[in-house]
Amino acid sequence: MDERRSKELDRLGFASFGFFLVLIGVIFLATPNLGDKIVEFFEDFEIVEVYPKVFLPAPASNHPVLYTAVAEFCIAYGLFYIAILILRLYFGDYLERKAGALSGAVFWLGAGYLLNILLAEIIGWFAFLSWLIIMVGIALVVRSLVILLFETVLRGYF
């Protein structure tokens, strides 16, 4: 990637950051006492033995209001990333930015799904954290594969 490309302004990136801030505000407005629920969540942590002689912090109980609010944020932000991807495709943006939008959508939608199954108590706290780490890995792999495959096609190796 040449210097001109890396220094060009990413206007859709600014829109993404603006939407992020607006969405946080909307979630706080739509969820009564969300600030109190966040405080309750962190006050509810206790030390749990996950393996013999291995202790980690975990919430002692389920926090449905907080999990729902964060899941709604993740899903809305993931859908926004899909819209950003469509705009990047329409405007012919750089491959790295398109791949980043796709991987962002994969991560945020996946995180929203994980929060919903945590809320339903299908998985526990540590399984949620493990799956969240897996989602980060999947998003990175998706980004890398898109760049690798499309650069290969663009160079005419197929």
Neighbours of 78 (CB within 10 A): 19
pLDDT for residue 10 = 82
| pLDDT exceeds 90 at position 155 | no
- Say if residue 7's pLDDT is above 90: no
Which of these, 66, 60, 80, 4, lies nearest to 31 by C-alpha position?
A: 66
The full set of domain ranges for the chain reads 3-154
Cα–Cα dist 51/41, whole Å? 23
**b/e sequence 34-66, b meaning 16+ C-beta within 10 Å:** beebbeebeeeeeeeeeeeeeeeebbeeebebb
- Tell me what pLDDT residue 12 has: 85
pLDDT, residue 124, reads: 94
Tell me the pLDDT band of 100, cut-offs 50, 70 and 90: very high
How far apart (Å, rounded) are the C-alpha atoms in residues 55 and 17? 37
Percent of the chain with pLDDT over 70: 92
Which residue type is seen at 89?
Answer: L
Name residue 46's beta-bridge partners: 58
Average pLDDT over residues 41-51: 94
